[in-house]
Structure 1
Amino acid sequence: MGLWKRLYRGRFFRRVLTLLCISVPAFGILVLLSPGFPEIAPSSLGQVAKSETGLSETKLGDLALLMIAMLPDDLAFTVFAPSEEAFERVLKLQPSISLMPDKMNGTIAILSRVMGFCAVPLHLPSKSVPVLEELALDSVSGLRIFCLEDSGGTLLANNVSSDWVDLRKGEVIVHVMGGVIMDAEFELSFAPDYEE
């Protein structure tokens, strides 16, 4: 009973509140003083992704590899990664320009946001996607992704068709898509400005 009286009088809660008041601003200051985004090792660029069977190999684009390198490769993830053409067409990112040191922070900011939209924390090989029946998934950022296989055998995710499926990088399954999966608000930031 004595413990409850002390807790009730507020000594315990005052100490917890004091600890929070000290640690939260200190953490905020550390975040603000950090020198930008973490460095990504250049050796992660240009790696070859293998299909699940290992028979066919294809090179993922540098931007997709950089985006996938942000995920831990020892955990189960599925990524609906944009193709190089989709990065350029939709997000206006070109590897030759976007990966230059003076543009790298902006590129990583965009890639990390896109990764949140198109990464799902589970393994989803294409053979697990139902034919002509939508499978609802939640991405890392909470965006709802609806997957299905159309009658022609093409994987669709939020009506974006796949170019390549079932590529692997560690434990990560990668489906290379012909577009970019993102929410409407982020999409507006890349919409062309039309002048009347």
Structure 2
Amino acid sequence: MRRGRSKSPIAFVVVIVSVSCFFVLILSILRLPDVSFSNGSRTSINFNKISKFTENSDSLGKFGEMMIEMLPHDLSFTIFVPSETAFERDLRLRVNDSLAGEKANDTYAILTRVLSFTVVSWKILSESVSYTEEITCDSLSGLKLHVSKDADKMLVVNRVRSTGVNMRKGDMVIHVMDGVIMEAEFEQSVRSGDGDEDED
């Protein structure tokens, strides 16, 4: 009988550590004030309903929806969610395969880690980013994010361009990205994992 759970204990530990760190960070930002935008005025936007993108959009895939569901909807966050294409291209995650059986735990661990790189604890709307200045902020994991806007009004974060901006759910602002924002060490581990998968 084949035992296919060699990665499961590692995935379980990664999930537990990631979730613990995430909740500590959530608790630490609960008292942060809402942030004013570029002209010093506060935004007054209705976040009660899920809204569609206000500019050209790429839809959220299953993995993006899973990431969003991991966050409380009543807190002010911005999340830079990889598009469905980016999940498949950059992380080799496919809905029909990566959520099946014992792969689901590893996939959940990867999504949790990506979430920590792509969430900031305040709202960043595309209109609050000027064409001439870059916003620098820290993600929940501490990764530095450099946010700018290109001529097509799309956001660019750490050289990854958005394909859709300004989607809202609860008190969150969601931007869909044509790539996965991640730190170099995690990216290297993902790439080395791809080699292991190819050998099977």
Give the Å deviation of 1:36.
11
Distance 2:176 2:93 in 1: 16
Report the equivalent of 2:171: 171
Give the Å deviation of 1:100.
1.9
The 5 Å alignment of 1:32-111 reads 49-51=50-52, 59-111=59-111
How many pairs are equivalent? 152
Q: Which has the higher contact order (CA 8 A, sep 6+)?
A: 2
Question: After TM superposition, where is structure 1 displaced by more than 6 Å over at least 4 residues in a row?
Answer: 34-38, 55-58
CA deviation digits over 1:165-187, x for unaligned, max 9?
01112111110000000000001
Q: Which runs of 5+ in 2 are unaligned?
A: 1-11, 20-48, 196-200
CA 1:58–1:82: 2 relative to 1, 3 Å: closer
Q: Which runs of 5+ in 1 are unaligned?
A: 1-30, 39-47
Alpha-carbon contact 1:50-1:57 (below 8 Å) kept: no
Distance 1:89 1:157 in 2: 18
Alpha-carbon contact 1:132-1:150 (below 8 Å) kept: no
Alpha-carbon contact 1:49-1:58 (below 8 Å) kept: no
Alpha-carbon contact 2:53-2:165 (below 8 Å) kept: no
Secondary structure of the 1:50 match is coil
Q: Bigger radius of gyration, 1 or 2?
A: 1
Report the equivalent of 1:20: none
TM-score, length-normalised on structure 2?
A: 0.68
CA 1:49–1:95: 2 relative to 1, 3 Å: farther
Q: Which amino acid aligns with 1:190?
A: V
Report the equivalent of 1:121: 121
Q: CA RMSD in A?
A: 3.0
Alpha-carbon contact 2:57-2:164 (below 8 Å) kept: no
TM-score, length-normalised on structure 1?
A: 0.69
Identical aligned pairs, as a percentage?
Answer: 43
Report the equivalent of 1:161: 161
Alpha-carbon contact 2:126-2:154 (below 8 Å) kept: no
Distance 2:143 2:16 in 1: 29
Secondary structure of the 1:156 match is strand
